Structure 1
Amino acid sequence: MSGASALPDELWRRILEIGIESSNFTYKDLCCLSITCTRLNRLSSDDSLWSSLFSTDFPQYHINQHPSSSSSKSLYKIRYEKVREQKLLAHRRAVLRIQSEINEHSRRIREMELRSAEEKEKMKNTVAELLNLRKIRQASVALNVWQPEVVRGRQKQMVEQCNVPIDNRIHAIEMELKLCKQQILGFEKALRVEKKRMQTAKEKLASVEYHPLRDFNLTVSPVDEHDMRGKRSKHMIKGNLEKM
């Protein structure tokens, strides 16, 4: 702090004023300065600095609307807490909205999977019936040629058990099978789209939960989890704000 000691208070105060006016200085910067030494603690608590910072960060509010007995620093803290609470409430609403979207996507996916499974079971039964009808048609054709009586009896029994015209029924089954395949393809495509949407919603939720104040109108820089000095500074700044 030998360099800082060489500068007069007026120059330091002007440096801080220029920083705030150019929007390069934030409340965090003032709080960081206040924990460096006694002199900068005193200078960074200057009422005019916090008044300028209040006007910069909360232009929609006027500091002269508050009681004159309160310091600008105290008013800044009050307004900061209110805006922060509003942002936290907005964040909770956003989280609930995204969670609701995920639940809806999950419901649709379960419904599509169920309908797809039902359609696959229907197609399986349709294929089995189609194979059986083709066997009956083959047996019907085989009756026109000579065969051992035992074989001929079985084929005749198969043909007699079928109560509908074979060719017509086969045609109807083939159309039904084609429709089943189209339905299954449609469900699979819709499932891919719905799962992609749910994954997007989950990623959005993870992002919002990890950065609850990302859209806060004050500049908040994320702290590196592996930077212990950054963590210590964060706790010191928090303590400084609580002492305001």
Structure 2
Amino acid sequence: MSELPDELWSQILQIGVKTSALTYKDLCCVSISSPRLRRLSDHDSLWSHLLSSDYPSSSSSFPSSASSSKSLYKIRLERDRYRKKAAHTRAVLRKESQIAEHYRRVGQLEERLIEETSKCTTTLTELSNLRTVRFGRLREATVALNVWQPEVIRARQKQIVEQCSVSVDSRLRTLDMELKLCKQQIAIFQKALKDEKKRLELAKEELTSLKYHPLKDHKSMNSSNNDSHIKRRSKDAINCSV
């Protein structure tokens, strides 16, 4: 590297920047290689080209009296990072709000499902009891009508039995309709609850993806592994001392 003149290194860097083979990160890596390359990579023409290619609108964002293209690039980069971070934070907050809404909706559907199930159970119980009562009354009426009675009393008793039978049958039909409606509502709420839970899980996965950071997660995992390793070594030391 020391055998190459500064002019050649400057041309190499210029070609790399103009062909987009070198990014600002590459220039930063080159600059820490040696004091000589640091001086060459700080050349204003390199950063001017990067500034115009990476941030075309930046020329109108800064006054002409600004110090250097590298300084302008740094300012623009920091602004861009802040903007992206703010946008990411807003996206995370929106997703968390969406998840909270999914949880609220799931809770509502579960409550409605419990209500309809309870209503269905109550209707079934009343229906069963009413059928039992109806069967018992019909049996009693049949027995009573088979016993000899004066015609007037017999006709009156028959009329009462028929009226009771009509009233019970009407109530039975009403309960049957209510039971069908309850079952239909339960099926609707079960499907809605299943779909809402799917949307909730999808939103949670999207939030995990938004919050994922390879470096932070890697450090966290390494820290966890180190802690477990230290605990294991401490435990082994204690066992050995015992």
Whether the 8 Å contact between 2:95 and 2:207 is mirrored in structure 1 is yes
Whether the 8 Å contact between 2:66 and 2:72 is mirrored in structure 1 is no
1:56 aligns with 2:53: yes
Q: Which residue of 2 aligns with 1:149?
A: none
Q: 2:58 is paired with a residue of what secondary structure?
A: coil
Following superposition, the deviation at residue 69 of structure 1 comes to: 5.1
Q: Find 2:96's aligned residue among 95, 99, 124.
A: 99
Any idea what the Cα deviations from partners look like across 1:176-216, whole Å, max 9, x if unmatched?
A: 111111111111111111111122222222222225xxxxx
Higher relative contact order (CA 8 A, sep 6+): 1
Q: Find 1:124's aligned residue among 112, 121, 137.
A: 121
1:202 aligns with 2:199: no
Report how many aligned residue pairs link the two structures: 200
Q: Find 2:138's aligned residue among 119, 138, 141.
A: 141
Unpaired segments of 5 or more residues in structure 2? 145-160, 220-242
Whichever residue aligns with residue 168 of structure 2, its letter is: I
Following superposition, the deviation at residue 15 of structure 1 comes to: 2.2
Q: Which residue of 2 aligns with 1:89?
A: 86
Greater helix share, structure number? 2
Which whole-Å CA distance do the structure 1 matches of 2:83 and 2:143 have between them?
A: 89
Following superposition, the deviation at residue 140 of structure 1 comes to: 2.4
Q: 1:61 is paired with a residue of what secondary structure?
A: helix
Q: Which residue of 2 aligns with 1:185?
A: 187
Q: 1:5 is paired with a residue of what secondary structure?
A: coil
Q: Find 2:20's aligned residue among 12, 20, 23.
A: 23
Whether the 8 Å contact between 1:33 and 1:41 is mirrored in structure 2 is yes
Following superposition, the deviation at residue 65 of structure 1 comes to: 4.2
Q: 1:24 is paired with a residue of what secondary structure?
A: coil
- In structure 2, relative to structure 1, the CA distance for the partners of 1:64 and 1:138 (3 Å cut) is closer
Following superposition, the deviation at residue 226 of structure 1 comes to: 5.8
Any idea what the Cα deviations from partners look like across 1:53-89, whole Å, max 9, x if unmatched?
A: 1111101221794344511111111111112112222
Map 1:2-81; keep pairs closer than 5 Å. Answer: 4-62=1-59, 65-68=62-65, 70-81=67-78
Q: Which residue of 1 aligns with 2:230?
A: none
Which whole-Å CA distance do the structure 2 matches of 1:141 and 1:163 have between them?
A: 8
Q: 1:62 is paired with a residue of what secondary structure?
A: helix
Whichever residue aligns with residue 106 of structure 2, its letter is: I
- In structure 2, relative to structure 1, the CA distance for the partners of 1:191 and 1:57 (3 Å cut) is same
1:109 aligns with 2:106: yes
Which whole-Å CA distance do the structure 2 matches of 1:31 and 1:76 have between them?
A: 12
Unpaired segments of 5 or more residues in structure 1? 147-158, 212-221, 228-244
Following superposition, the deviation at residue 5 of structure 1 comes to: 2.4
TM-score between the two structures when normalised by the length of structure 2: 0.74
Following superposition, the deviation at residue 122 of structure 1 comes to: 0.6
Q: Is the radius of gyration larger for structure 1 or structure 2?
A: 2
- In structure 2, relative to structure 1, the CA distance for the partners of 1:140 and 1:78 (3 Å cut) is same
Percent of paired sites with the same residue: 54
TM-score between the two structures when normalised by the length of structure 1: 0.74
Whether the 8 Å contact between 2:134 and 2:165 is mirrored in structure 1 is no
Whichever residue aligns with residue 209 of structure 1, its letter is: K
- In structure 2, relative to structure 1, the CA distance for the partners of 1:164 and 1:45 (3 Å cut) is farther
- RMSD, aligned CA: 2.5
Whether the 8 Å contact between 1:47 and 1:72 is mirrored in structure 2 is yes
- In structure 2, relative to structure 1, the CA distance for the partners of 1:163 and 1:40 (3 Å cut) is farther
Which whole-Å CA distance do the structure 1 matches of 2:120 and 2:48 have between them?
A: 75
- In structure 2, relative to structure 1, the CA distance for the partners of 1:68 and 1:89 (3 Å cut) is same
